[in-house]
Structure 1
Amino acid sequence: MSNVSIAKGSCLCGAVSISTTSMSEDVTACHCSMCRKWGGGPLLVVECESGVSFSGEENIGLYQSSQWAERGFCKQCGSHLFYKLKQNNQYFMPVGLFDSCEGLVFDHQVFIDEKPKYYCFANETKNLTGAEVFAQFAPPE
C-alpha cells in the first residue's frame, strides 16, 4: 500500500473532520448488497488502516452492520464516514470525504459477484468475489 502524507476531509456539513496519515492511493468499489443499500450504489473507499483521527466525534453515529464490522455516519447531515473492521480498527473511508484526490487510482472491486447488471466501470481493476473478500478479512468463526 502506498501512502499519501496527510489526508484531510470532512462530512457534508463539516460537523465531523477527518485526518489520516495512512490513506492508501488505491480506490476500491464495494458492490455488496449492504453497501449498495447504505448509499444507493457502490461504495467507493480508500483504506486508511487504523491511523484515522476525528474531530466532532460527538456527531458520529455507529451502526453495527455485522459481527466484525461497523459503519459510521454523521448524525447531523447523514454523510457516510467509514466502514471499520472491529478486530483491528481498519478503516475504509468514502473517497469523496477527502479534500484532495490527487494521485488516487481506482484499481479494486470487491463483491463483484453481487454487482447488479445496470452499471459497470470502464477501469481495468482487480476483482474479488464476496467469498474471496471474506477469506482475506473476516475473522475465523
Structure 2
Amino acid sequence: MGKNAKLNGRCLCGAVRFEAIPLEHEMGVCHCGMCRRWSGGTFMAVECEGLQIVAGEEPAVYRSSDWGERGFCRKCGSSLFWRGVGGDRAAVSIHAFEDPDAFAFASEIFVDEKPANYAFANDTKKMTGAEVIAAFTAKQDAGNA
C-alpha cells in the first residue's frame, strides 16, 4: 500500500461500498464509552481523507455529540466511520477495509474510560480523554489562526 493510495472498503452486507485514502499506515483505538457502545467493543480506525461512497447506499449518519458524527450501514448496522461535524477527514474502521493487517497498531485514546477487564499487549501511544480534547482544540485553533 503506497502513500495516498485509495483503499476500498465495505460494510458487512455490501450495501455500502466506499473508498478512502489513509493518511498513515497506522491505526488507533478509541476506548470512549460512545465508541464502545456503537461498535460493540473498541473502535479500531485509521484517519482518512477522500471518503467517498462508490456503490450502493449512502450510510446513515448519527450525530453523537456537538462535534462528532458516526456513519453506519442502514441494512446491517456495520460501524463504518467517525468524523467531526463538517470535517473533511474521517476515522474509518480498519475492519471495513479488505486488509486490516495493513495498519500498524500505534495509538489508544480515551484510555481513562477503558474498562479494567481488558488491555492490549502492544506498546502504543496512550492519551486520556482530556489530552485528546486538548489536542483536538489546539489543532482547530491553529487552523483558524
Q: Is the TM-score greater than 0.5? A: yes
Report the counterpart of residue 92 of structure 1 in structure 2: 91
Report the counterpart of residue 135 of structure 1 in structure 2: 134
> How far did residue 6 of structure 1 move?
1.9
> How far did residue 137 of structure 1 move?
1.7
Report the counterpart of residue 26 of structure 1 in structure 2: 26
CA deviations 1:69-105 (Å, max 9, x no partner) are 1001100110011101124322001100001235310
Quick one: which amino acid aligns to residue 85 of structure 1?
G
Quick one: which amino acid aligns to residue 106 of structure 1?
F
Query: Measured at CA, do residues 124 and 27 of structure 1 come closer, stay the same or move farther in structure 2, by a change above 3 Å?
Result: same
Distance in 2 separating the partners of 1:27 and 1:126: 11
Contact 2:105-2:122 within 8 A present in 1 as well: yes
> How far did residue 41 of structure 1 move?
1.2
Distance in 1 separating the partners of 2:41 and 2:100: 20
5+ residue gaps, structure 2, are none
Distance in 2 separating the partners of 1:23 and 1:33: 25
Distance in 2 separating the partners of 1:115 and 1:102: 23
> How far did residue 4 of structure 1 move?
5.1
Residues matched between the structures, number: 138
Quick one: which amino acid aligns to residue 7 of structure 1?
L
Question: Which moved further from structure 2: 66-75 or 16-25?
Answer: 16-25
Superposition TM-score, scaled by structure 2 size: 0.86
Distance in 1 separating the partners of 2:53 and 2:99: 17
SS at match of 1:13: coil
Higher helix share: 2
Greater than 6 Å deviation, 4+ residue runs = none
Contact 1:7-1:23 within 8 A present in 2 as well: no
Q: Does 1:12 align with 2:12?
A: yes
5+ residue gaps, structure 1, are none
Distance in 1 separating the partners of 2:45 and 2:131: 18
**Percent identical residues:** 40
Superposition TM-score, scaled by structure 1 size: 0.89
> What is the 5 A alignment of 1:1-141?
3=3, 5-48=5-48, 50-56=49-55, 58-138=57-137
CA deviations 1:38-97 (Å, max 9, x no partner) are 12211100100x311113464411110011110011001100111011243220011000
Quick one: which amino acid aligns to residue 72 of structure 2?
F
